[in-house]
Structure 1
């Protein structure tokens, strides 16, 4: 059978094979071969470190081509996918859940973005390589890191450097690849026993890519970030830190009526940590932050206005969101008991302005104030050897005020972005019936989980039940054109979402074999669902409703080490959802996905291969979806193949290279946006296709 014919049939073959065997992950390791340090393998799929918790170093080399944003990096974790915009700034999806169901934190602060249509979702402002650790908790199985989080919690963290004597540490990388991709990253830390100074910076750029059929896909981007921190460490158990950051960028979107002409970020923060306290009191940790997103959308910086579109003239929309907050947590530990308790708070202010015909912007107009105060506690009990009972409870007081004096017939932030801000740019002239109204809700969340380490096998199993109540977020309250039938708007009618979910799983760690499996089943009351219908000359109109939903799914993985330096791995991820109120599928559910990987690590060389196979998806809700997309109909399965290699030039220098989509396959992901007519796509929805064959080369140095 010819290679290309064989690859084209792989999704069904691989799905069948993985259904008959426990699939698994291929994880990074730093092992010894004949007593010598080996080269870190290229990360293709991450594995859990403990039940329901995933942690990895985002600075490690990875495949596909190193991520330009946080959503791209999360796809190395089974269960994650992203709604694609083109080249960058995809919107993350975990187990088919999106938006604020996924709590995203960077440096323990929230950066929710400002665009009413999520052109600048939270992960758009995160450069993964500038962080030390990525930690993920799946499902409503922690209450420590903020409200909602029914799908999971994602934390990009920077660790505290410690110096026993004066010194300097630094690392840098450069990357070059197809489509004029070029990245530069630099991080330097200097310090002594009394403190440290740390600076990190990155720049990433790429031109439009070509898909597997040779067609140019509008996807150009350029972005940069710079962060600095000053820390005082008067002793080994105390740290006081001040930090600040700046960033900006631009991105051309194939599936939007406007592009992102500005992604300006300003971040300020401070934290205090004290450990090794007397008695059972282990630590106190406090932090505050102030994050500001200043986002510009327009139809003329990165494209030419389409005379035949709904926006024939140059238009721009500027949205601005400042989010401030903080957290205080105290930890205690006794012989058979540990407790973490504390409080957190968040305050967010949103405003907007618009311009047309290259004229000046109108005055800023505030449209939304949102805030939340929460109390939390997690208790870990050790009733017996190898047994743990983890209990968590959280109480939140959430509020949202509608500050829109007037609204347009098509709410600003029209979801599919005939304009993504087009209605804002065209003006608003209808009185808002909920102007000045404040909504307040008291929301409770919690979980209980049992974990056991078996004495006869290197195996841990767990079972947990969790409940999360989520306040409707900015996009749900303010971007929809209308609320349920008979209501004045979405702000007045959208009810908080309540998720109850059972999580089950096991993890085996042997000498030559690691394996894990996790499964979940959940019921969601008052699931917040967007439905789309004809909206006249301005494209689709959106309606926000509450429905009841059921979800379930599983992820699993295996890693086999048949000989020294060799690893073989496989993973599988599957998600299913149903709109129980209407008896129809939930939209934007990712199809079954499997990965097979093989890797070898030597003293100086490493090599690996990755086969990614995605099955067809026929369970769709064509006219429904989230703020950034909807199901565009069934999709065919596909498979892609990638190769990578690495060479450790010295202890300090490392070279890695890869080729993604080796066979230049022409394909599109199921979670997708319809291509914009501005770039020649037809009026009927057409998915944005993914990059064709892509080669890249990366050089890392550590000092």
Structure 2
């Protein structure tokens, strides 16, 4: 990482000033409240071990709420605490999130309504790697193709990290900050401060996270260290309660060492700009207008010498991606294929220093209006996005791909009765991709369709809500599916020419029960995917891959129950299961996580609280060997395991909270099923999974003022 890192001193200074600010002991002013907020979202008195469900279909939670395992270093780490999520692991940070066994652009991840796309052709810098969860106020997950408001192709779901508008009724300053210390020399600092009055505000956010390599349950060191920082600011104008204009900007950078890749990430530079406008209570029918625009830039460098010693490599673990150099060229310091950074076995020699630099520039905008009638609400609008991918050669930056998307959408909510609500939506998108590599067609374009309809029914004689919805969406192949494979379907020499768009039809059903002592929810799905995009890898040379279209059947679900045993004791349980089959050959789909259960027991009395968490994972024998996606493949069945963690917390006063915990208390030696094989440069043998951290102690201080 370059020398222009975010210094520790600004965060530390801000946190020190908090204890001396004259407003520290004053009561907080009024806050804007998210329409879906519930008390549990912002209640930090007890650690959360399963995400609270606003409804079975939509989960809303606060990323600022303490979590176990140890608080997350990036967006993917945080998402895996929500039932149904897992991640493809490759070391200590920057894993790739998977929801219900679905990966990549099937799961859209947004920050403040915009999308941050990474540049690495093997997703070393997945979109979630640029997200620091604690710097956001709310996280919203909509499961399945049950919304059309946020872009095309979201067949698995839509994740939205949001920063809420600070509201002041007088001149004031408020904020929160935290410090974390953990095993393996992990240190995190976060600060989020807002100052303003009824006319506007200035919000400043900074965070830094770093850790050394961790040790697994066998006390073996796992290459996994990282160091990253982010700094963001927002300037808002609120002339009245119904008008809001915000300008925001941010930067970040980092580095990460990967046990499961041939290269490490030595730069994760981020630049972000954005504007949001909202006008409410416009008229009796036309109620609200909102508009936003954003610019996100990722500048990524990967190499094999900044965070490891190439001279000791010998035979390396080869690539899961092949001749990307054909599509992208080589950098000034890299004369071999860019495929060298991925994670499977190969005999290719990599003792020479090598590096590669790529970037992606994403710009987008969106506007939407809301119309209200006595029993109906219509949300309708349009959005667009353009992103351009480049790689750096000896003679400068060279474009290899440009994606453009223009969409229109509408969602209608009809409150038919006090107990029944019907929600439906439709979306139409025009997508075009320009290929500048000169190795295939120069462009592709398509028209994508999406729609859904859902009914929600609440019983009158008991606190139970039921829903059922059918959704359909089409997803155009993303950058990694068009430009990373060696071949397309049937051995076609170009994946760009021949990989088809996916079409997903899915039924979602669920229920939620909420009483004084018992809360429970369940959400289930079954679907059919036409032209599911699947990667196949040559077992003799995993640098050779083929992207193919197959048909697939998917099903599964999540469930959660919490029960208040006494005034002080509460239990929490969640269950998640995914199943998928390649119906083209009657074999399992690859990269499907196994059954997972979480059992939590919490105690709270006064200012003290404590929680124990048991995470149980079953074995996974339904695999498709040498098949997967652009990041990972199935290479072996995996055994089940159980991990126990515990924490305790004390509220010093209404402003300060201290929490401490231990993850993997019994120092279990285990690895996740979704995992990259370890790299031989670190001594791993072929198809050996990267183990998870062993016993990890941590302590955290949260301050609010």
- Report if TM-score (shorter chain) is over 0.5: yes
Cα deviation, residue 29, structure 1: 8.6
Cα deviation, residue 335, structure 1: 1.0
For 2:527 and 2:451, locate their aligned partners in 1 and report how far apart those are by CA, in whole Å.
Answer: 14
For 2:144 and 2:39, locate their aligned partners in 1 and report how far apart those are by CA, in whole Å.
Answer: 29
- Residue 16 of structure 1 corresponds to none
- Residue 262 of structure 1 corresponds to 267
For 2:485 and 2:586, locate their aligned partners in 1 and report how far apart those are by CA, in whole Å.
Answer: 23
Q: Out of 190, 198, 208, which is 1:193 matched to?
A: 198
Q: Out of 410, 417, 431, which is 1:384 matched to?
A: 417
Contact 1:39 1:601 in 2 (8 A): no
Contact 1:30 1:39 in 2 (8 A): no
> Gaps (5+ residues) in structure 2?
1-36, 317-347
- Residue 498 of structure 1 corresponds to 503
For 2:217 and 2:261, locate their aligned partners in 1 and report how far apart those are by CA, in whole Å.
Answer: 22
Q: Give the alignment's Cα RMSD to 1 decimal.
A: 1.4
Partner SS for 1:687? coil
Contact 1:171 1:702 in 2 (8 A): yes
> Given the two structures, how large is their TM-score scaled by the length of structure 2?
0.89
- Residue 83 of structure 1 corresponds to 88
- Residue 23 of structure 2 corresponds to none
Q: Out of 309, 315, 323, which is 2:354 matched to?
A: 315
- Residue 664 of structure 2 corresponds to 661
- Residue 6 of structure 2 corresponds to none
For 2:701 and 2:125, locate their aligned partners in 1 and report how far apart those are by CA, in whole Å.
Answer: 29
Q: Out of 341, 344, 348, which is 2:380 matched to?
A: 341
Cα deviation, residue 433, structure 1: 3.3
Q: Out of 628, 649, 652, which is 2:631 matched to?
A: 628
For 1:334 and 1:600, locate their aligned partners in 2 and report how far apart those are by CA, in whole Å.
Answer: 46
Cα deviation, residue 363, structure 1: 2.2
For 1:278 and 1:243, locate their aligned partners in 2 and report how far apart those are by CA, in whole Å.
Answer: 29
Partner SS for 2:396? coil
Partner SS for 1:100? helix
For 1:371 and 1:601, locate their aligned partners in 2 and report how far apart those are by CA, in whole Å.
Answer: 52
- Residue 25 of structure 1 corresponds to none
Contact 1:30 1:40 in 2 (8 A): no
- Residue 608 of structure 1 corresponds to 611
For 1:85 and 1:329, locate their aligned partners in 2 and report how far apart those are by CA, in whole Å.
Answer: 39
1:96 partnered with 2:129: no
| C-alpha spacing 1:335/1:51, structure 2 compared with 1 (3 Å) | farther
The aligned runs of 1:471-620 (5 Å cut-off) are 471-485=476-490, 487-534=492-539, 536=541, 539-620=542-623
For 2:682 and 2:491, locate their aligned partners in 1 and report how far apart those are by CA, in whole Å.
Answer: 38
Cα deviation, residue 582, structure 1: 1.3
Contact 1:114 1:320 in 2 (8 A): yes
For 1:674 and 1:173, locate their aligned partners in 2 and report how far apart those are by CA, in whole Å.
Answer: 35
Partner SS for 1:92? strand
For 1:108 and 1:41, locate their aligned partners in 2 and report how far apart those are by CA, in whole Å.
Answer: 30
Cα deviation, residue 171, structure 1: 1.0
> Gaps (5+ residues) in structure 1?
1-27, 32-36, 355-360, 406-431
Contact 1:515 1:558 in 2 (8 A): yes
Q: Out of 325, 331, 345, which is 2:364 matched to?
A: 325
Cα deviation, residue 38, structure 1: 8.5
- Residue 404 of structure 1 corresponds to 437
| C-alpha spacing 1:362/1:694, structure 2 compared with 1 (3 Å) | farther
Cα deviation, residue 486, structure 1: 5.0
The aligned runs of 1:223-372 (5 Å cut-off) are 223-305=228-310, 306-309=313-316, 310=348, 311-353=350-392, 361-372=394-405
For 1:237 and 1:29, locate their aligned partners in 2 and report how far apart those are by CA, in whole Å.
Answer: 23
Cα deviation, residue 280, structure 1: 1.5
For 1:602 and 1:170, locate their aligned partners in 2 and report how far apart those are by CA, in whole Å.
Answer: 26
| C-alpha spacing 1:457/1:531, structure 2 compared with 1 (3 Å) | same
Cα deviation, residue 313, structure 1: 0.6
Contact 1:534 1:540 in 2 (8 A): no
Cα deviation, residue 535, structure 1: 6.2
| 1:477-530 deviation digits (Å, cap 9, x = unpaired) | 111111122523100001000000000110000111001111100000000000
For 2:646 and 2:457, locate their aligned partners in 1 and report how far apart those are by CA, in whole Å.
Answer: 38
For 1:532 and 1:340, locate their aligned partners in 2 and report how far apart those are by CA, in whole Å.
Answer: 44
1:467 partnered with 2:472: yes
| 1:27-81 deviation digits (Å, cap 9, x = unpaired) | x9968xxxxx986111111031024000001001110000000011011111000
How many residues matched?
A: 634
Contact 1:569 1:596 in 2 (8 A): yes
For 2:585 and 2:267, locate their aligned partners in 1 and report how far apart those are by CA, in whole Å.
Answer: 40
For 2:624 and 2:671, locate their aligned partners in 1 and report how far apart those are by CA, in whole Å.
Answer: 18
- Residue 146 of structure 2 corresponds to 141
For 2:102 and 2:491, locate their aligned partners in 1 and report how far apart those are by CA, in whole Å.
Answer: 28
| 1:639-662 deviation digits (Å, cap 9, x = unpaired) | 000000000111111001110000
Partner SS for 1:475? helix
| C-alpha spacing 1:226/1:607, structure 2 compared with 1 (3 Å) | same
For 1:555 and 1:191, locate their aligned partners in 2 and report how far apart those are by CA, in whole Å.
Answer: 42
Q: Out of 389, 403, 408, which is 1:375 matched to?
A: 408
The aligned runs of 1:113-132 (5 Å cut-off) are 113-132=118-137
More RCO (CA 8 Å, sep 6+): 1
| 1:304-327 deviation digits (Å, cap 9, x = unpaired) | 112434222101010100000011
For 2:575 and 2:266, locate their aligned partners in 1 and report how far apart those are by CA, in whole Å.
Answer: 38
Contact 1:211 1:666 in 2 (8 A): yes
Partner SS for 2:272? strand
For 2:381 and 2:38, locate their aligned partners in 1 and report how far apart those are by CA, in whole Å.
Answer: 35
| 1:591-616 deviation digits (Å, cap 9, x = unpaired) | 00001001012221010100000001
- Residue 421 of structure 1 corresponds to none
For 2:52 and 2:608, locate their aligned partners in 1 and report how far apart those are by CA, in whole Å.
Answer: 23
Cα deviation, residue 82, structure 1: 0.3
| 1:214-260 deviation digits (Å, cap 9, x = unpaired) | 11100000100000010111111101111000000000000000000
The aligned runs of 1:25-64 (5 Å cut-off) are 40-64=45-69
Contact 2:405 2:432 in 1 (8 A): yes
- Residue 357 of structure 1 corresponds to none
For 1:47 and 1:686, locate their aligned partners in 2 and report how far apart those are by CA, in whole Å.
Answer: 36
Cα deviation, residue 562, structure 1: 1.6
- Residue 679 of structure 2 corresponds to 676
Contact 1:568 1:599 in 2 (8 A): yes
For 2:479 and 2:44, locate their aligned partners in 1 and report how far apart those are by CA, in whole Å.
Answer: 45
| 1:436-477 deviation digits (Å, cap 9, x = unpaired) | x11110010010000001001100000000001001000001
For 2:39 and 2:242, locate their aligned partners in 1 and report how far apart those are by CA, in whole Å.
Answer: 29
> Given the two structures, how large is their TM-score scaled by the length of structure 1?
0.89
Contact 2:676 2:690 in 1 (8 A): yes
Partner SS for 2:54? strand
